[in-house]
Amino acid sequence: MREKIANVNHYLLEWARDKSGYSLEDIAKYFGKEKECIEDWESGIDFPTYIQLEKLASKYERSIAFFFMQSPPEDEENLEDKVMLRSSEIKKLSPKIYSLYRQAFSRQIALQELFGKDDFVEHKILNDIKHARNEHFAQLAAEVRDYIGVSIESQMSWGDTKIAISRWRDEIQYKGIFVFKEAFEDNKVDGFCLSHDVFPLIYLNNTNAENRQIFTLFHELAHILLGNNGITSDLTFEVSNDEQFCNQFASEFLVPFEHFDKHSGSVEYSDKVAKELADDYKVSSQVILYKFLQKGTISETCFRNKLSEWISIGKSKYKNSESYSGGGNYFYNQIMYLGQHFLTLAFKKYYEGKCSSDDLASYFNIKEKNLSKLEDTFIQRIANA
């Protein structure tokens, strides 16, 4: 019989599970045991073997040594306290989202280590646009569009939403906000952001369609301008709190009502018309649906029913999509997730001798042995662009 580890800190077993978003039932199923067995480990009545502890460490993304500490790290962010949610039912978030939040907090620290007080971009939007909370969403949207310097005509000239998300991502990053992508493996979450005076960042769910990612990008940008963290799931548009304000901002930024009113003319709403206009603006049909509601050509009931229908269809497509299970070239995926902007700046620091290869791999969240291959792939991709 394998020896049990009696000096493990049982409190940290429970703490790590809770922070990773797993239930007792999840871990019991993982080990093929009864829930009571896991409860006994976490209460100190019984103890796991070393092999079982290794499996727990892997599952919770912790080191073995972590479970022998006297208490959890004081500086670890509390997800419940730090993140604004549309729903208070935070425990419904998947373990993958918990993991991504920990990665994001670590990446924010990495940015501070890499760049310190360096001016890594010429203009920072947080330095130049202040008092966003005191502005109407339409006023703020117009101010931000003018600051970014992309006209609605330029936006409409982009070939498709794949080009559009790439262009918007670049424009936002050139103004001092890092934008990362990940496959969230969770269709309830579109994206999230972490506010910071110098190193704010946004995460987008790369599993979503590009037009949805575009909307999420500007929703999270609004959160950062308001000075708070955010997490995005569904689309609602009433102006009653920060979440709805951010949706209003994103909608008005991407499709300014005055321009839409002229561009759509006297055309009546139909799903076909919504799709055509969405293609014009490189947004989702849901945004166009809301614009017709603003215009007064569809009723509130029609808007709600159609939105619910589309959300249901979208979730069904997500469950059946190949992207849900991941795949593709690992290094191409990492380049897409990290983004050219961050990779270029980080490799520059590495070439200047300002960080080690071990540090750089840690910042990229990859194994050090994969660093040279990622570098080669990235350089080749830049050369072929």
Tell me the CATH number at 27: 1.10.260.40
Do 43 and 173 sit in the same domain of this protein?
no
Q: Into how many domains does the chain fold?
A: 3
* Gap between the Cα atoms of 189 and 231, Å rounded: 7
Do 156 and 43 fall into the same domain?
no
Same domain membership, residue 247 and residue 106: yes
Whether 246 is covered by a domain: the verdict is: yes
92 part of a folded domain: no
Whether 82 is in a domain gets the answer no
- pLDDT tens for the chain, 385 residues long, are 578 888 999 999 999 998 888 999 999 999 999 999 999 999 999 999 999 999 999 999 898 999 999 988 776 656 656 665 544 445 567 888 888 988 898 899 899 988 887 778 888 999 999 889 889 999 999 999 999 999 999 999 999 999 999 999 999 999 999 999 999 887 778 999 999 999 999 999 999 999 999 999 999 999 999 998 888 765 444 445 888 899 999 999 999 999 999 999 999 999 999 999 999 999 999 999 999 999 999 999 999 898 888 777 765 554 544 444 445 789 999 999 999 999 999 999 999 998 899 999 999 989 999 999 999 999 988 888 6
Identify whether residues 114 and 188 lie together within a single domain. yes
- Let me know if residue 340 belongs to a domain: yes
- 157 and 56 within one domain: no
Q: Are residues 190 and 236 in the same domain?
A: yes
Residue 2 lies in a domain: no
Q: What is the pLDDT of residue 79?
A: 61
Residues 231 and 306 occupy one common structural domain: yes
Backbone phi, psi, residue 384, to 5°: -90, -5
User: Is residue 142 assigned to a domain?
Assistant: yes
Nearest to 97 by CA among 209, 208, 203: 203
In a domain, 90, yes or no: no
User: CA-to-CA distance for 261 and 294, rounded, in angstroms?
Assistant: 10
- Indicate whether 131 and 60 sit together in one domain: no
> How buried is 368 (Cβ within 10 angstroms: 0-12 exposed, 13-18 middle, 19+ buried)?
middle
Enumerate helices (H) and strands (E) in the chain, giving the number of each. Answer: 20, 4
Same domain flag for 274 and 196: yes
Q: Same structural domain for residues 191 and 50?
A: no
* Residue 95 maps to a domain: no
The answer to whether residues 372 and 318 belong to one domain is: no
Mark whether 104 and 161 lie in a shared domain.
Answer: yes
Instruction: Report whether 289 contacts 301 (CB < 8 A).
Output: no
Domain membership of residue 235 as a residue range: 100-325
Cβ–Cβ contacts within 10 Å for residue 139, how many? 13
